[in-house]
Amino acid sequence: MRHARALLLSLGAAGLVAAATLTAQAQTAPSQAAASVLAEMEERTSLKPATAFNTITDKNARSVALFQEAGKVITHPRCANCHPVDRPTQGDDRRPHMPVVARGGDGHGEGLQCASCHTAKNVWVGGTYIVTIPGNPKWALAPASMAWQGKSLGEICAQIKDPARNGGKTLAQIQEHMAVDELVAWGWNPGLGRAAAPGTQAQLGELIQAWIDTGASCPAPGGAKVPSHDLKIEAGALKPKI
């Protein structure tokens, strides 16, 4: 009798331990769906170092893979918002810039100058508006020939290599621009309320250097295009009737 009770008690204890283990597992191990969402977020917000591509033995394929990794930064809203067809976009949803502003001849705005609002540094204007107004001494829209919105990464790659469209830059100057330019640097210091570009600017510089060292090959021109709400404006969706 005493043995039976001892047996029951120990079975009960074992059951409790098993139940507790199961509950703990259910709480800590993410479901497969959650795990794949987390993996996707990690993939989008992180940047692999250039050395991670050394295992790709085919030089051309390695070059393309390196540019594709750098493409995570290039196509990120922090960069692409300022490389539109015509007018800048804002935020991670790449909505049209409000108020509507025009590029102007020098990229600093026509009529309403960028510098009327964008000063030399990020500024938080306070109140309940938690997004800072982006700022940088060189704040201006990239020239139309350097537009990335509405283009695939392969098309952007070809354009970045083309001195007729990249501002007359050599590949070495493109690398330097990506690696140390202070306006490009804003992408990793975008101010409160805005996500930074993936990785670091130094890592981007290394990826671009390794891409050049492997022959600066471009991905195929097809594929997904960088979203552009700007094009909707161009299509007349938001055009005022004058």
Q: Per CB under 6 A, does 73 bind ligand HEC?
A: yes
CB of residue 163 to ligand HEC, shortest distance in Å:
9
> Whose Cβ is closer to ligand HEC: residue 50's or residue 73's?
73
**Of residues 87-106, those binding ligand HEC (CB under 6 A):** 88, 90-91, 97, 99, 101
Look up tokens 């990785």; give the residue. 199
Number of Cβ within a 10 Å radius of residue 108: 15
CB 165 within 8 A of CB 13: no
Instruction: Give the Cα separation of 189 and 135 in Å (integer).
Output: 10
| Interacting residue with ligand HEC among 117, 123, 158, 171 (CB under 6 A) | 117
Q: Per CB under 6 A, does 186 bind ligand HEC?
A: yes
Please identify, among the stretches 30-38, 59-67, 137-145, 211-219, the one whose residues bind ligand HEC according to the rule CB under 6 A.
137-145
Please identify, among the stretches 60-68, 81-89, 219-227, 228-236, the one whose residues bind ligand HEC according to the rule CB under 6 A.
81-89
Instruction: Give the Cα separation of 151 and 135 in Å (integer).
Output: 26
Instruction: Give the Cα separation of 68 and 63 in Å (integer).
Output: 9
Q: Per CB under 6 A, does 107 bind ligand HEC?
A: yes
> Whose Cβ is closer to ligand HEC: residue 12's or residue 163's?
163
CB 229 within 8 A of CB 94: yes
Instruction: Give the Cα separation of 138 and 165 in Å (integer).
Output: 20
**Which residue, among 212, 205, 164, 157, has the nearest Cα to 184 in the 3D structure?**
205
CB 186 within 8 A of CB 118: no
CB 148 within 8 A of CB 157: no
**Which residue, among 135, 126, 83, has the nearest Cα to 107 in the 3D structure?**
83
Q: Per CB under 6 A, does 78 bind ligand HEC?
A: yes
**Which residue, among 28, 51, 86, has the nearest Cα to 230 in the 3D structure?**
86
> Whose Cβ is closer to ligand HEC: residue 78's or residue 151's?
78
Q: Per CB under 6 A, does 214 bind ligand HEC?
A: no
Q: Per CB under 6 A, does 211 bind ligand HEC?
A: no
CB 142 within 8 A of CB 186: no
Q: Per CB under 6 A, does 141 bind ligand HEC?
A: yes
Q: Per CB under 6 A, does 163 bind ligand HEC?
A: no
Q: Per CB under 6 A, does 109 bind ligand HEC?
A: yes
Binding residues for ligand HEC, rule: CB under 6 A, are 73-74, 77-79, 81-83, 88, 90-91, 97, 99, 101, 107, 109, 112, 114, 116-118, 131, 133-134, 139-143, 146, 159-160, 166-167, 174, 177-178, 183-184, 186-187, 194, 197
